[in-house]
């Protein structure tokens, strides 16, 4: 049974709309499924009655307190009904309602339905209306949701929107550090970190942050070489600037350090291959490391460096063997 949205009464005290004095003048509008529905839905009686009364107010375009209360009741029964959320926004605007109170209402719904798109859309609408003063509160709310589910796309999307529109950048890099300390495999936190260093108006942009971020990322790679996220993050720090990527010896060095311990690390091999393809001049250490790997595979004995790495990747990464085979045909011989 559905509780009343206009009181704190329990489920047992729920009163059907047809018995509420404030709705006595409303003629309910039943759902029209046509004369011969193929598979009629067996709605619960309380759901059907609440929707019939909501439909009547919706078709009448009524903007009233009772309409607002009824939308809350429908949302309690089905928080994914986008028509109800849209109508609720129209009523809120018409009544010049307290939007901070509305945000508190939505937060309660969102905690129980954290992956409901309609709820997050409504929160964004409210936050946009309320302005920068709610930025910190919205960040705290998304923190709460992400503490339960670190990969909640809706929470991350909302958090990023709030940052870019309402602000709150001051502690965001620290938050990313915290998340990655808790779980360095959290690819969502790596993605957020990239947003912060590239978009924050407080950090000076990617060029200013690149050097320290390379150090941070190299440390994360050496701590867990099989974690794909920092490898991708490292390349992202040089997006569109291959000349700087090749010139930074720390990039090739981390590949070599990882490969000396595990010559089958696909991420290290792949990045090293990318470096060779865009102009890295092989060092003696690099040649020695590749030669050591080639000794374990007679088929690569006479191959150049890039070709040898492709051959090794064919065996280390069988899911993409066709890709590595194709790539082998495109690489230029390395001296």
Indicate which residues carry an active-site annotation.
Answer: 115
Cα–Cα distance measured from residue 269 to residue 314, given in angstroms and rounded to the nearest whole number? 11
Calculate Rg over the CA atoms of the chain.
29
d(CA 200, CA 120): 23
Check: CB of residue 205 under 8 Å from CB of residue 221.
no
How far is residue 124's CA from residue 318's CA, in Å, rounded to a whole number? 44
Residue with tokens 């720090």: 237
In total, the chain counts a number of residues equal to 335
CB burial string 200-233: b at 16+ within 10 A, e below: beebeebeebbeebbebbbebbeeebebebbbbb
The answer to whether residues 91 and 67 touch, using CB atoms and an 8 Å cutoff, is yes
Tokens of 66: 């009772």
DSSP string, 50-112: HHHHHHHHHHTT--SHHHHHHHHHHHHH-TT-HHHHHHHHHHHHHHT--HHHHHHHHHHHHHH
CA 326 to chain centre: 33
């Amino acid at each position: 049974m559905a509780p009343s949205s206009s009181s704190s009464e329990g489920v047992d005290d729920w009163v059907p709309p047809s018995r509420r004095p404030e709705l006595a003048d409303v003629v309910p509008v039943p759902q029209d499924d046509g004369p011969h529905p193929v598979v009629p839905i067996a709605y619960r009686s309380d759901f059907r009655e609440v929707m019939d009364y909501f439909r009547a107010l919706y078709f009448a375009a009524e903007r009233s307190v009772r309409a607002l209360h009824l939308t809350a009741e429908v949302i309690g029964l089905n928080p994914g009904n986008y028509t109800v959320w849209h109508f609720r926004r129209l009523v809120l605007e018409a009544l010049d309602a307290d939007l901070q109170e509305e945000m508190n209402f939505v937060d309660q719904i969102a905690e129980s339905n954290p992956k409901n798109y309609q709820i997050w859309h409504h929160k964004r609408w409210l936050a946009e209306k309320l302005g920068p003063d709610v930025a910190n509160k919205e960040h705290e709310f998304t923190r709460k949701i992400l503490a339960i589910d670190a990969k909640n796309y809706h929470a991350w999307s909302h958090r990023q929107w709030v940052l870019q529109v309402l602000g709150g950048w001051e502690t965001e890099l620290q938050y990313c550090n915290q998340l990655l300390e808790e779980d360095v495999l959290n690819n969502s936190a790596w993605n957020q970190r990239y947003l912060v260093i590239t978009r924050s108006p407080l950090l000076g942009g990617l060029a200013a942050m690149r050097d320290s971020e390379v150090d941070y990322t190299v440390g994360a790679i050496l701590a867990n070489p099989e974690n794909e996220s920092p490898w991708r993050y490292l390349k992202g720090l040089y997006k569109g600037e291959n000349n700087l990527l090749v010139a930074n010896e720390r990039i090739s060095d981390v590949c070599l350090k990882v490969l000396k311990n595990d010559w089958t690390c696909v991420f290290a091999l792949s990045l090293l291959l990318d470096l060779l393809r865009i102009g890295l001049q092989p060092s003696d250490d690099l040649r020695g490391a590749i030669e050591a790997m080639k000794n374990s595979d007679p088929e690569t004995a006479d191959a150049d460096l890039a070709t040898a790495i492709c051959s090794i990747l064919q065996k280390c990464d069988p899911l993409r063997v066709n890709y590595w085979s194709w790539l082998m045909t495109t690489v230029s011989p390395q001296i």
